[in-house]
Amino acid sequence: MAAPGETDLDAMLATLAVQRRPGVFTYIAVEVPTPGLIASAHAMVKEGPLTTIVLPVEAAERAGQLVTVRLAWLTLTVQSSLEAVGLTAAISERLTRENIACNVLAGYHHDHLLVPVERVDDAVSALTA
């Protein structure tokens, strides 16, 4: 059974819209996530002995974590299938043309992009052009 969502790249790009999640986010990596960090997490990835957590900057600072990067969280509102081919490459190409760094997280229905907060307007313009 195929995963729900769009698989046609042209259709995805034609209906692509971008929504910004409120706040400014950062990445941290910890050996043992505390309940407070888990509660603040917007995304987590287990990587060997470390857990990478994406959370609001304020939550990281409250927990005494070093904030090395400040990111805006963008969601591509097109409902892409987990089996779709080419969307990440197309988005990456648009951002590369503008020299905008991007970290991608895939949710079940949507792709999420973390871009430098100072370049968020440029990123939205590049993605929706």
Cα–Cα dist 62/125, whole Å: 33
Q: Which domains does the chain have, with CATH numbers?
A: 9-128 (3.30.2130.10)
List the strands of the sheet with 50-56, edge to edge: 43-47, 50-56, 18-30, 71-76, 111-116, 103-106
pLDDT tens digits, residue range 38-50? 999 999 999 999 9
Is 2 a residue whose pLDDT tops 60? no
**63-108: pLDDT as tens digits:** 999 999 999 999 998 877 777 877 889 999 999 999 999 999 988 8
Q: What's the rounded Cα separation, in Å, for the pair 119 and 72?
A: 9
Strands 50-56 and 111-116 come out as: unpaired
